[in-house]
């Protein structure tokens, strides 16, 4: 399971303020805490800062990479911001992950050349010009189209991360099952393709969100989830991942579970 730290996101009020003030110390400490908690990659998202997003993305990528030695997930709906982040990215830290592209033709035409030029990984959302399908069958169809498009352009299957789009169960009680069924079908059809979700979306609008997030994560891992964007500073959540990997037979001799325990991670 690839753990991607979620906290450097301008939708959080204090993050937007710190980016606008160029508070390097705050951002770097937040980056370090996430990695110390177990994040293997950090999500960098300043999509709510519209005015200077490309320049702010450059500053943020440089600032975070000065502090930690993990790759970054460059997260924005703005093509220019993604491009700016990749231009200053330190590739010695590992392969970057672009987050994200959809099956919308205009977005594909912009993002695909960046993926090829920089040979990075990419998150592909199961939506198109008609929006987000309300069932697993249509989401899988979009995933299939995107995977075939990427591979025809020479992108490796292991560099493709399909996001089945987690929506709140508070809006539709079937939203969790749609994601789970989509995960299973994608992994059955394309074992080498990765799957990814934004975990906390599932519980939006409900009390005691951590209970829902943790329960959904266990289910998603059993259905074939490979990566998730989450709060890596949450010890209970991180312990749950180690325990679930163990029970799914992905932790030979319980090595990772025991190592994490000895390190005091839970």
Q: Kindly report, residue by residue over 6-64, the tens digit of the pLDDT.
A: 999 998 889 999 999 999 999 999 999 999 999 999 999 988 877 889 999 999 999 99
Rg (CA), the chain: 18
Structure confidence at residue 48 (pLDDT) = 80
Cβ pair 183, 164 in contact under 8 A:
yes
Local confidence band at 265 (pLDDT 50, 70, 90 cut-offs): confident
Tokens describing residue 193: 């393709």
CATH code for 2-234? Answer: 3.20.20.20
Higher pLDDT, 77 or 140: 140
Question: 145-148: long-range contacts (C-beta < 8 A, 24 or more apart)?
Answer: 145/103, 146/101, 146/103, 147/190, 147/193
How does pLDDT run across 144-174, given as a tens digit for each residue?
Answer: 999 999 999 999 999 999 999 999 999 999 9
On whether the pTM is more than 0.85, the answer is yes
Identify which of 228, 229, 215 has the alpha carbon closest to the alpha carbon of residue 176: 215
How does pLDDT run across 198-228, given as a tens digit for each residue?
Answer: 999 999 999 999 999 999 999 999 999 999 9
Rounded (5°) CA angle 257-94-5? 55
If you average pLDDT over residues 230-246, what whole number do you get?
A: 95
Structure confidence at residue 166 (pLDDT) = 98
Rounded (5°) CA angle 184-186-191? 95
Question: 13-20: long-range contacts (C-beta < 8 A, 24 or more apart)?
Answer: 15/46, 16/46, 16/48, 16/49, 19/46, 19/49, 19/56, 19/59, 19/60, 20/49, 20/56
Local confidence band at 261 (pLDDT 50, 70, 90 cut-offs): very high
Residue 98 has pLDDT above 80, yes or no: yes
Name the average pLDDT for the chain. 96
Percent of the chain with pLDDT over 90: 94
Tokens describing residue 210: 């951590």
């Amino acid at each position: 399971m690839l753990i991607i730290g979620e906290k450097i996101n301008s939708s959080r009020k204090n993050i937007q303020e710190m980016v606008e003030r160029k508070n390097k110390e705050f951002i770097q400490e937040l980056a370090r805490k996430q990695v110390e908690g177990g994040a293997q990659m950090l999500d960098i998202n300043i999509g709510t800062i519209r005015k200077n997003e490309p320049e702010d993305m450059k500053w943020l990528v440089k600032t975070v990479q000065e502090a930690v030695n993990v790759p970054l997930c460059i997260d924005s709906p703005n093509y220019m911001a993604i491009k700016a982040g990749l231009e200053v990215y330190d590739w010695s830290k590992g392969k970057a992950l672009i987050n994200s592209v959809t099956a919308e033709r205009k977005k594909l035409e912009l993002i695909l050349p960046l993926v090829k030029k920089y040979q990075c990984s990419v998150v592909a959302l199961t939506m198109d010009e008609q929006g987000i399908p309300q069932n697993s069958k249509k989401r899988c169809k979009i995933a299939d189209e995107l995977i075939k498009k990427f591979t025809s352009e020479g992108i490796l299957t292991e560099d493709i991360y399909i996001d089945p789009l987690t929506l709140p169960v508070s809006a539709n009680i079937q939203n969790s099952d749609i994601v789970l069924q989509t995960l299973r079908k994608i992994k059955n059809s394309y074992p080498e393709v990765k799957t990814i979700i934004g975990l906390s979306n599932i519980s939006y609008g409900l009390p005691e969100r951590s209970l829902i997030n943790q329960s959904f994560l266990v289910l998603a891992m059993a259905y074939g989830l490979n990566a998730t964007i989450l709060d890596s500073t949450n010890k209970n959540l991180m312990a749950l991942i180690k325990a679930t990997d163990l029970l799914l037979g992905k932790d030979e001799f319980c090595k990772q579970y025991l190592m994490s325990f000895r390190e005091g991670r839970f």
